[in-house]
Chain A
Amino acid sequence: MYNLEKLIVPDSHDDNLKLNCSYCPKCERKYFPLKEICADCLDSLTNIEINSNGRIFSYTTIRTDSPFYKAPYTLAFVDLDEGVRLLARVNVESHQQLDSNKRVKGVRTPITTKDGETINAFEFKIIEEV
């Protein structure tokens, strides 16, 4: 299993959760999840911290158990304002409606696997727009 915890910047607070991202200073290209070399110039990448605010591109609720998790859970492609697309869980509260284009932000969350193991991961929450 991919280590999801290493993607979270350790001292960042849930009010403004930051994620680790690979970056090529020469090509000004961001890569998520972490990667060692730039696919364009083949130079080594550096690590940068990015904000986790973004917008839902698409989403699905999975209704059948997957290799790691018991159903149901909701996954979304999130387009971060920092110009990164990533797939992660979304936590939708009962009074909320999920739509493509909804604003979201990252928060820490423990996720329990089918084996009963708890992993320190992150998920997205809907930001109510005013």
Chain B
Amino acid sequence: MRDVAVIGMGMTPFGKFPETPISKLGYTAIIEALKDSGIEKQRIEAAFIGSVYGEMGIGQKILMEIGLTGIPVTNVENACASGSSAFREAWLQVSMGAIDVALAVGIEQLSTSISGPIPLNLEDYEVSQGLILPAQYALMSRRYMDRYGITEEQLAQVSVKNHYNGTLNPKSQYRKKMTLEEIMSSRPIADPIKLLECCPIGDGAAAAILVSKEYAKKLGISNPVCVKSSVLMSGDTVYEPEESVWSQKLINKTVSKAYEDAGLGPNDIDFAEVHDAYPIAELLAYEGLQFCKPGDSGKLLSDGVTELTGAKPVNTSGGLLSKGHPLAATGVAQLYEIYLQLHGRAENRQIERNGKLPLVGVAETMGGGGISNLSGNICSIIILAR
């Protein structure tokens, strides 16, 4: 396995852009990534395009617009971790020495097709009992509240924090501060989850250029952002009673493997972007990333540890709750935030400690929901470092 560097990244703003052709969202992110990397598009040897609801051949449709044809193009669907999965395929091929330069993209346009919760399979047992995606997370929240005494206010505080961070991110879908009162009094969706605790429907794309570390060196790039590990795991089945809630064991296992592969531990991680589709998901990520003991995630948040100025900032971009969640774009957009932070290019939301930039960031992306007896479709953990 070779070391792999990320030498360029790009991202469209997230938001509702029903008038923008989906291919334009895609090539806008790719062109930004190319410019950032300083390499010519002809150097790209293979492209991996993550999309959930995109049409057949979405990758080719985007790439033909910028004259990038005649290369292997692979379209990847893996629920909300589709972009992360596309990135991982690009990383694998470069790492294994099959190619030197790869393009990874995550793209989604939901505003033209969806309003309200993401549609689930109507033949599914749990969906036929009335399950909707927010209810899946509500069931996790309730068990956690009853087991560990985590309060509705603590859950809402995740949304307060991430909306504040979103005000500092010019590419965030929401750039409006939300108070605890506003969130607590917003429309109930599935108790205890309220409207302002649900990630919004939106559109967007993000792209990354990956090269071998030797190739980066030849380009004259010293000290690039490198991929320390990239782990993908599907969830376990649940047919019997067990104490863990949906996706919990999956996050824990995927993180452990990613730490092992990278030779790193929780103390080495400076900051994280996690899959806060709903607040409980961010709390579970704190525990999965071993930032605190099981059950202490509410306290970690209340103590301010995961705020922008805390010891372990989480979702400096605004997270899914504020930055938005165009499904497949999310995983690559999380890496985009980590990339900016590692380069000291995160402007008003830049993390610094004693005047120094952060060195290691981790992205957690959780895919799926709405498949009976499956505790998470897919989890991706990617660790980037300089």
Tell me, yes or no, whether B92 is within 8 Å of chain A by CB: no
CB-CB under 8 A from A59, the residues of chain B are 139, 142
B138 contacts which chain A residues (CB < 8 A)?
A: 60, 62
Q: Shortest beta-carbon distance, B73 to chain A, in Å?
A: 34
B241 contacts A62, CB within 8 Å? no
B123 touches A1 (CB 8 A): yes
A-B interface contact total, Cβ < 8 Å: 105
Give Cα distance in the complex from A73 to B132, angstroms. 12
**B129–A87 contact, CB under 8 A?**
yes
User: Contact: A68 with B130, CB < 8 Å?
Assistant: yes
Counting contact residues on chain B (CB < 8 A from A), the size range is 35 or more
**Chain B 87-129 interface mask (CB, 8 Å, partner A; 1/0):** 0000000000000000000000000000011011011111111
Q: Is the CB of A68 within 8 A of B143?
A: no
Least Cβ–Cβ distance between B172 and chain A, in angstroms: 25
Task: Give chain B residues whose Cβ lies under 8 Å from the Cβ of A79.
Answer: 241
Q: Is B139 a contact partner of A77 (Cβ separation < 8 A)?
A: yes
A33 and B125 contact, Cβ closer than 8 Å, known pairs A63-B190, A73-B130: yes
Q: Count residues of A near B (Cβ-Cβ below 8 Å).
A: 35
Q: Are B122 and A64 in contact (CB under 8 A)?
A: no
| Per-residue B-contact encoding for A81-95, CB less than 8 Å = 1, 0 else | 001110111000000
Nearest chain B CB to A127 CB, angstrom units: 17
| B237 CB–A CB distance under 8 Å | yes
Residue among A4, A33, A39 having the largest count of chain B Cβ atoms under 10 Å: A33
A-B contact pairs, 10 of them (CB 8 A): A31-B239, A31-B373, A58-B139, A60-B190, A62-B132, A63-B189, A64-B190, A66-B132, A73-B130, A84-B241
Q: Which 9 residue pairs across A and B have the least CB separation, nearest first?
A: A60-B138, A79-B241, A2-B128, A58-B143, A100-B146, A63-B188, A33-B125, A58-B139, A58-B142
